Amino acid sequence: MTYTIAINVMPLKDLLDPQGKAVLGGLHNLGLNNVQDVRIGKRITMLVEADNEGAALQAGEEAAKKLLANQVMEQFEVSILQ
Amino acid sequence: MTYTIAINVMPLKDLLDPQGKAVLGGLHNLGLNNVQDVRIGKRITMLVEADNEGAALQAGEEAAKKLLANQVMEQFEVSILQ
**ipTM confidence:** 0.93
Q: Choose, out of A4, A15, A43, the residue to mutate when testing the contact with B (most B CBs < 10 Å).
A: A43
CB < 8 Å to B41, chain A: 42-45
In this structure, are residues B73 and B13 in contact, taking their beta carbons and an 8 Å threshold?
A: no
User: What gap in Å lies between CA B41 and CA B76, rounded to an integer?
Assistant: 10
Residue A71 has a pLDDT of 96
Residue A82 has a pLDDT of 74
Using an 8 Å CB-CB cutoff, list residues of chain A that contact chain B.
2, 8-10, 20, 23-24, 26-27, 30, 32, 34-50, 59, 62-63, 66-68
Domain A2-80 belongs to what architecture? Answer: 2-Layer Sandwich (3.30)
Distance from CA of A49 to the nearest CA of B (A): 5
- Tens of pLDDT, residues A24-77: 999 999 999 999 999 999 999 999 999 999 999 999 999 999 999 999 999 999
Residue B82 has a pLDDT of 73
Distance from CA of B38 to the nearest CA of A (A): 4
Strand spans (E) along chain A: 2-11, 35-49, 74-80
User: What gap in Å lies between CA B71 and CA A30, rounded to an integer?
Assistant: 18
Domain boundaries, chain A: 2-80
